[in-house]
Amino acid sequence: MKWYHYVAAFFAGAFLANTVPHFIHGVSGDPFPTPFANPPGRGLSSPTINVFWACFNLVIGYVLFRVGKVSPNFRLSMIVFFIGILVMSIQLSIVFMEKAKT
């Protein structure tokens, strides 16, 4: 596999991890930060915007998953994919910790 397959696998994990909080808040009817809020990433966006943002992340994550050739046949790509999920999940937990304080 080429180096860019691993980059794609990492970002596939990151985008797919980012899908979860936005989708959950969106379908639950809760406002939640998105890049479209004011200020971006800090203000709250409507549940509908969150569902759209989640779907966008899902599509991009899926495309990168395919480009990254993530498969049990390529174990390193699986590891890199899960590292992407882990890194994004930790980052999101830190960023959205501020939302819980408000």
Is the pLDDT confidence value at 97 over 60?
Answer: yes
Share of the chain above pLDDT 90, in %: 81
Provide the domain count of the chain: 1
Structure-derived torsion over alpha carbons of residues 64, 70, 17, 61, reported in degrees to the nearest 10: 20
Structural domain boundaries enclosing 81: 3-101
The model's pLDDT over 41-91, given as tens digits with 9 standing for 90+, comes to 788 999 999 999 999 999 999 999 999 999 999 999 999 999 999 999 999
Is the pLDDT confidence value at 40 over 70?
Answer: yes
pLDDT score for 95: 85
Is 2 buried (19+), middle (13-18) or exposed (0-12) by CB count in 10 A?
exposed
Q: How far apart are CA 50 and CA 71, in angstroms?
A: 29
Is the pLDDT confidence value at 102 over 60?
Answer: no
Q: How far apart are CA 102 and CA 98, in angstroms?
A: 7
